[in-house]
């Protein structure tokens, strides 16, 4: 690619960066105080974005993946996923060696595995930028076929980067569940997260929770490394949808819990639909192993366990009872109940560190499937109803992206 083309690409990316906004509500007085508390833990978006754009521009300069056949593109993506699986398997083996008291010299015992890990990591780092470019193009192809492009390109372009992810600090009022603010943090150790949450809760009389995330709608979007290609395809599209919405009234007015749920549920619906098409079109041999029935956030907290304990049904009940207690002004009772229910989940194989108002404010906003942490919140069902009434994904996104209140959504679906 000529230097003029590289400069042009950079200018376009810079303009897009100026146009997009973060998925965070505007700060209020209380949030300003919290912002001061987390100054040292705030994630450095500027450095991350600059480094990632540089990687993307260099890849564009060599025209990748223009020189690869469709079969080679397919094989590179599958190889990348396979390498991650092997790396995770080796990590577990190394952990077991170092945990085994019968092994006197774990460094020696794990030497060959660690050497193999180095080779695998080098190979993954070499091909992952190409794998990303290929999946970006494949998602773009699906968006084009869905009518969501202009001149053959979606606005903004599909750009993502697999990276270690920051964490999300979620703030909710104690008396009513709903995300009042979100702050993106450099990853904290659990004791540090607990200390921060306790400090915020005591000083501001709120409910807070530091949560792990699977993706983030910065630009390029951030996505965690995974062994699940269906989840990856889903999440690329999910985070792209957030960036798309941020250019329209729904994303620009990301100021209330209702609008947050509208945003997140819309992104989850679009991500699931687009991700499924990507798998059907480009990786059909893997489709039998996929399950897009849950959002990517649900997959972060659920486990493959015998269905004698229905996670979604039990979490749904927990949310409903908690909402009822809070509506009666029984804040302490509600918090005690949520902690008691956390023990129930633990007893059934679900290791949830904390269930509180902030927990439901975060997980309950992903309401593309009935039940679960959303409880009886009417926003998710209304978004799903609008999708059912829309003639296409494009029609759905155009209609909901133009809304700036929950009342507009209720009117559109006749509620």
* Residue 42 confidence (pLDDT): 85
Per the CB < 8 A criterion, the answer to whether 229 and 288 are in contact is no
Long-range Cβ contacts of 312-316 (<8 Å, 24+ apart): 312/369, 312/371, 312/372, 313/371, 314/341, 314/344, 314/345, 314/348, 315/345, 315/371, 315/372, 315/373, 316/371, 316/372, 316/373, 316/374, 316/375
Instruction: Give the pLDDT confidence of 14-69 residue by residue, as tens digits.
Output: 555 554 444 444 445 677 778 777 878 888 888 888 888 888 877 776 666 777 89
Domain ranges in the chain are 3-55+161-413, 56-158
Pairing of strands 221-223, 160-162: parallel
Residue 133: helix, strand or coil by DSSP?
helix
The H or E element that residue 273 is part of is helix 257-282
> Which of residues 20 and 122 earns the better pLDDT score?
122
Q: Mean pLDDT highest for which of 147-156, 229-238, 247-256?
A: 229-238
Mean pLDDT of 230-244: 96
Q: Is 83:124 a contact under the CB 8 Å cutoff?
A: yes
**pLDDT tens digits along 379-402:** 999 999 999 999 999 999 999 999
Element (H, E) at 160: strand 160-162
Say how far apart CA 72 and CA 78 lie, in whole Å: 10
Does the pLDDT at position 3 exceed 50? no
Q: What is the pLDDT of residue 256?
A: 85
Q: Please, which residues bridge with residue 100 across strands? A: none
Residue count of the chain: 415
Sign of the dihedral through C-alpha 388, 392, 395, 397:
positive
In contact, 208 and 169? CB cutoff 8 Å: yes
The mean pLDDT of the chain is 87
Query: CA end-to-end span of the chain, whole Å?
Result: 54
Report the SS3 class of residue 169.
strand
Q: What pLDDT sits at residue 22?
A: 46
Instruction: Tell me the percentage of the chain whose pLDDT exceeds 70.
Output: 87
CB 220 within 8 A of CB 232: no
* Structure confidence at residue 28 (pLDDT): 55
What are the CA-CA distances from residue 116 to residues 79, 94, 113, 323 (Å)?
Answer: 16, 11, 5, 51
Task: Indicate if the pLDDT at residue 86 is higher than 90.
Answer: yes
Q: At what angle do helices 379-389 and 257-282 cross, to 10 degrees?
A: 50
Instruction: State yes or no: pLDDT of 9 exceeds 60.
Output: no
pLDDT score for 27: 47
């Amino acid at each position: 690619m000529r230097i003029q083309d590289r400069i042009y690409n950079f200018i376009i990316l810079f303009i897009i960066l100026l146009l997009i906004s973060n998925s965070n509500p505007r700060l209020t007085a209380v949030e300003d105080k919290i912002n001061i508390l987390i100054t040292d833990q705030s994630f450095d978006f500027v450095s991350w974005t600059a480094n990632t754009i540089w990687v993307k521009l260099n890849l564009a300069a060599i025209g990748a993946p223009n020189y690869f056949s469709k079969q080679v593109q397919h094989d590179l993506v599958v190889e990348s996923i396979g390498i991650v699986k092997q790396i995770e398997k080796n990590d577990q083996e190394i952990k077991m060696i170092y945990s085994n008291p019968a092994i006197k010299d774990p460094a020696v015992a794990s030497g060959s595995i660690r050497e193999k890990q180095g080779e695998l990591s080098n190979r993954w780092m070499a091909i992952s930028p190409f794998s990303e470019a290929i999946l970006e193009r494949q998602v773009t192809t699906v968006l084009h076929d869905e009518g969501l492009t202009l001149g053959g390109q979606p606005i903004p372009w599909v750009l993502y980067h697999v990276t270690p992810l920051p964490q999300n600090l979620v703030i909710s009022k104690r008396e009513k569940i709903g995300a009042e603010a979100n702050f993106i943090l450099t990853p904290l150790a659990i004791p540090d997260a607990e200390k921060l949450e306790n400090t915020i809760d005591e000083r501001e009389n709120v409910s807070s929770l530091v949560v792990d995330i699977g993706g983030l709608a910065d630009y390029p979007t951030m996505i965690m490394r995974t062994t699940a290609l269906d989840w990856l395809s889903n999440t690329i599209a999910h985070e792209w949808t957030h960036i798309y919405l941020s250019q329209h009234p729904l994303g620009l007015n990301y100021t209330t819990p209702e609008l947050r749920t509208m945003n997140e549920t819309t992104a989850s619906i679009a991500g699931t639909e687009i991700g499924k098409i990507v798998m059907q079109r480009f990786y059909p041999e893997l489709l039998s192993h996929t399950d897009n029935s849950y959002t990517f956030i649900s997959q972060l907290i659920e486990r493959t366990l015998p269905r004698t304990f229905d996670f979604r049904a039990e979490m749904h009940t927990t949310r409903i009872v908690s909402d009822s207690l809070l509506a009666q002004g029984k804040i302490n009772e509600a918090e005690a109940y949520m902690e008691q229910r956390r023990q129930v989940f633990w007893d059934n194989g679900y290791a949830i560190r904390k269930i509180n108002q902030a927990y439901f404010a975060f997980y309950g906003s992903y309401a593309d499937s009935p039940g679960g942490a959303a409880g009886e919140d009417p926003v998710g069902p209304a978004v799903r109803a609008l999708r059912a009434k829309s003639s296409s994904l494009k029609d759905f996104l155009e209609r909901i992206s133009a809304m700036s209140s929950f009342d507009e959504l209720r009117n559109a679906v006749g509620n």
